[in-house]
Amino acid sequence: MQLEAILNKLGISSLNEMQQKVLDTYQQDKDLILLSPTGSGKTLAFSLLILQQLKDIPREVQVLVLVPTRELALQIEQVIRKLTTGYKVTCAYGGHSTRIEKNAFKDAPSILIGTPGRIKQHLEEGNFDPTQIHTLILDEFDKSLELGFHQQMDFIIRHMPKIKSRILTSATTMETIPAFTQIQDPVTVDFLKDANNIPRITIKKVVATSQKKLEALLKLICKIGTKKMIIFCNHRDAVDHISDLLDNRNIIHDIFHGGLEQQDRELALLKFRNHSNNVLITTDLAARGLDIPEVDAIIHYQLPHKEDDFTHRNGRTARMQAKGDVYVILKPEENYPYILEDTAEEEFPDFYDLPENSPFATLYVSAGRKDKVNKIDIVGFLLNLDGIEKDDIGIIEVKDKIAYVAVKRKLALAIINAANGQKVKGRKVKVGRT
């Protein structure tokens, strides 16, 4: 597929400077290190390189993408599926059904994306042949090291004797590259200090005592209103505590942390992407590697101890040279060296209206890729219902056995009543709220 056609498919007019530099610099017989901030578009950059590497070899894994988190694996899978035609893509990660993954390996994918622990497990069980893999992507490698995946990655790399190209990405500068990567004499593309990649953010502080902190947060949420915001906490219990507060005020939101089931985590991100909710409360699990576009504001309910973590959180907004607002909620006695003393303080009037509900709600349809159902099928299915127009349908994401569709919130119940038991591609489906 030509680059212009790919960009049209993604709905973007051109590559950014970093992505173009990667394409211009890359040599298939040389290893590549890509250093660029969170949110700068590294996934698309290396996905375009993968397209150059694929060969018409059926039933052989050719490319392995190793990532630190399951959410990042799923994000990369989505991007690559948009770009590739005719090449099978499989995602493997902890929390996903090993039976489904083993079945997928019976007809081996050209591109395998996964977390180190799960890929190591499949290798040990002999579920796929690693000997024909010629391209290895180590995405968010600094995060993989931080999470302690050294041994798993070492084991995996030693089982791939025919790697010709290694591509390592990182959102932070790395003083040394571990020997187990087998990266030698790499070409480096470094955009970490590039002015165009520095997020254009405005930082403001909100000062409140421990007893008034939740009240200050609620005022801030109301002031931001219907814009999309992520609230960062250091601990899961703080996430749950804030969620209870918003539940009591009927403010639609979702939570995201490591204590949730994988399906619930995926659904929370999906609903945030498709505008079914505008508020996501999370731990640092969402600070890096996730593609969460169009975030207007970041709220630090609890600040991280390290400045790097603060920077990565802020990278969720002002992505791709857009603008964003960052708010830090501080107790009077708190002092963080990376928060300037002269940071402007946010002011609040005495009263704010609660924010309006998001315009969309997410419904599920009990059919997916395994049923040969795609987005076009879902759109046609809904448009056949009385009174449903194209503008009433938002973002659709089709999974293996289920599809999620954003619809106008005011029409959600009517769509459920009309669509339940109807057929998609000759198969009766259930339709309901997520």
Residue 84: which CATH number?
Answer: 3.40.50.300
- Residue 182, pLDDT above cutoff 60: yes
Beta pairing partners, 329: 206
pLDDT, position 319: 53
User: Does residue 350 lie within any of the structural domains?
Assistant: no
User: Does residue 348 lie within any of the structural domains?
Assistant: no
| pLDDT range class, residue 155, cuts 50, 70, 90 | very high
Cα distances (Å, whole numbers) of residue 254 to 7, 145, 246, 410:
31, 29, 10, 20
- Residue 419, pLDDT above cutoff 70: yes
Q: Is residue 204 located within the same domain as residue 171?
A: no
Q: Is residue 191 located within the same domain as residue 209?
A: no
Q: Which residue has the tokens 């994401």?
A: 397
User: Does residue 101 lie within any of the structural domains?
Assistant: yes
Q: Is residue 41 located within the same domain as residue 148?
A: yes
Express each pLDDT in 103-119 by its tens digit. 999 999 999 999 999 99
Express each pLDDT in 83-98 by its tens digit. 877 899 999 998 888 9
User: Does residue 355 lie within any of the structural domains?
Assistant: no
The Cα–Cα gap between 82 and 6 comes to 8
Average pLDDT over residues 19-47: 90
Cα distances (Å, whole numbers) of residue 257 to 97, 268, 291, 302, 320:
20, 10, 16, 15, 25
Average pLDDT over residues 300-320: 80
Express each pLDDT in 312-345 by its tens digit. 788 766 554 457 899 999 999 998 999 988 899 9
| pLDDT range class, residue 250, cuts 50, 70, 90 | very high
Average pLDDT over residues 259-283: 91
Q: Is residue 210 located within the same domain as residue 320?
A: yes
Percent of the chain's residues with pLDDT above 70: 95
Q: Is residue 188 located within the same domain as residue 63?
A: yes
pLDDT, position 289: 59
pLDDT, position 258: 84
User: Does residue 349 lie within any of the structural domains?
Assistant: no
Average pLDDT over residues 361-378: 94
pTM (two decimals)? 0.75
| pLDDT range class, residue 233, cuts 50, 70, 90 | very high
State residue 379 phi and psi, 5-degree precision: -60, -45
pLDDT, position 318: 52
* Per-residue burial over 357-390, b = 16 or more CB atoms within 10 Å of its CB, e = otherwise: bbebbbbbbbbbeebebeeebbeebbeebeebee
The angle formed by the CA atoms of residues 381, 83 and 53, to the nearest 5 degrees, is: 150
User: Does residue 351 lie within any of the structural domains?
Assistant: no
Q: Which residues contact 300 (CB under 8 A, 6 or more apart)?
A: 232, 310, 313, 326, 327, 328, 329
Cα distances (Å, whole numbers) of residue 214 to 63, 144, 244, 288, 340:
47, 34, 11, 25, 23
- Residue 409, pLDDT above cutoff 90: yes
Contact call for residues 96 and 132 (beta carbons, < 8 A): no
Q: Is residue 190 located within the same domain as residue 131?
A: yes
The neighbour count for residue 340, using CB atoms within 10 Å, is 10
The Cα–Cα gap between 174 and 138 comes to 14
Query: Which of these three, 282, 311, 330, is where a domain ends?
Result: 330
pLDDT, position 101: 93
User: Does residue 347 lie within any of the structural domains?
Assistant: no
Cα distances (Å, whole numbers) of residue 169 to 18, 133, 173, 189:
12, 19, 10, 10
Q: Bigger pLDDT: 209 or 321?
A: 209
Q: Which residue has the tokens 């790919």?
A: 6
pLDDT, position 322: 58
Rg (CA), the chain: 23
Q: Is residue 409 located within the same domain as residue 320?
A: no
User: Does residue 216 lie within any of the structural domains?
Assistant: yes
297-300 vs 229-232, strand pairing mode: parallel
Helices (H), 3-148: 3-10, 17-25, 42-53, 70-83, 98-106, 116-124, 141-146
Q: Of 121-135, 286-300, 330-344, which one has max mean pLDDT? A: 121-135
Query: Which of these three, 138, 171, 195, is where a domain ends?
Result: 195
Mean pLDDT rounded to a whole number for the chain: 90
Beta pairing partners, 63: 111, 135
Q: Is residue 58 located within the same domain as residue 113?
A: yes
Q: Which residues contact 124 (CB under 8 A, 6 or more apart)?
A: none
Beta pairing partners, 324: 201
Average pLDDT over residues 239-252: 95
pLDDT, position 180: 96
| pLDDT range class, residue 293, cuts 50, 70, 90 | low
pLDDT, position 124: 96
Q: Bigger pLDDT: 7 or 34?
A: 34
Express each pLDDT in 48-86 by its tens digit. 999 988 988 888 999 999 999 888 898 899 889 888 778
Percent of the chain's residues with pLDDT above 90: 67
Q: Is residue 103 located within the same domain as residue 184?
A: yes
State residue 90 phi and psi, 5-degree precision: -130, 140
- Residue 288, pLDDT above cutoff 80: no
Q: H or E stretch including 376?
A: helix 375-383
Residue 196 burial (10 A CB sphere; 0-12, 13-18, 19+): exposed
The Cα–Cα gap between 403 and 297 comes to 29
CA end-to-end span of the chain, whole Å? 36
Contact call for residues 94 and 125 (beta carbons, < 8 A): no
Domain of residue 296, residue span: 199-330
Number of domains observed in the structure of the chain: 3
pLDDT, position 195: 52
The neighbour count for residue 78, using CB atoms within 10 Å, is 14
Q: Is residue 294 located within the same domain as residue 412?
A: no
Q: Is residue 112 located within the same domain as residue 14?
A: yes
Q: Is residue 135 located within the same domain as residue 256?
A: no
Lowest-confidence range among 92-101, 113-122, 129-138? 92-101
- Residue 31, pLDDT above cutoff 90: yes
Query: Which of these three, 149, 167, 195, is where a domain ends?
Result: 195
